[in-house]
Amino acid sequence: MGAFFQGKKWHVECEYLRKHYQDNAFKAVNALDAFVNYDIPLKTKLFRKISPICRYDYMSDQSDGKKYLNKLANPAGSLIVNDYKRQRLTGGITLSLCAPFVADIRINYEKYFYEHAVYALPSEKDKIVFELMTRF
């Protein structure tokens, strides 16, 4: 379920997801995403706009869908938590290039919040992200 608002310079969106496992094999998962973007027009030869952004993500404990017994994959076992509850707050900017390119340069900082940070995967820890996004 989601909703969004698109104004002249604003883009705001929010989504909620609830995931259920077959035969109630694991507790249901809740996820929430919220995003705000504001476009500031630029009059330069390189960039047509700059957009500050803020995003919030939440996901409760979930399973990868594999059964485990004594911490080893085993069809006789049960689903376990192996993707831990977390929240993430992202702040950054998007620089939109002028024609002839239809591309954006994104620079974001992602801050993660865990109840038990020891379980965080390396890809899901605090980081700075640089992206080049193209559309064609």
Q: b or e along 66-91 (b: 16 or more beta carbons within 10 Å of the residue's beta carbon)? A: eebeeeeeeeeeebeeebbbbebebe
Q: Counting beta carbons within 10 angstroms of the beta carbon of residue 62, is it exposed (0 to 12), middle (13 to 18) or buried (19 or more)?
A: buried
Structure tokens at 101: 């390119």
What pLDDT sits at residue 94? Answer: 97
pLDDT for residue 97 is more than 80: yes
Q: How do the domains of the chain map onto residue ranges?
A: 2-134
For residue 83, the model assigns a pLDDT of 84
Residue 19: pLDDT over 70: yes
> How far apart, in whole angstroms, are the C-alpha atoms of residue 56 and residue 119?
20
Phi, psi dihedrals of residue 106, rounded to the nearest 5°? -115, 135
Q: What is the pLDDT of residue 15?
A: 98
pLDDT at residue 129 greater than cutoff 90: yes
Residue 117 pLDDT exceeds 70: no
35-67 pLDDT, tens digit per residue, is: 999 999 998 989 999 999 999 999 999 898 899
Is cis: bond before 100, omega within 30 of 0? yes
Q: What is the pLDDT of residue 2?
A: 96
As a whole-number percent, the residues of the chain with pLDDT over 90 amount to: 67
Q: Give the length of the chain.
A: 136
pTM comes to 0.84
Task: Output the average pLDDT for the chain.
Answer: 92
Given a cut of 70, whether residue 14 has pLDDT beyond it is yes
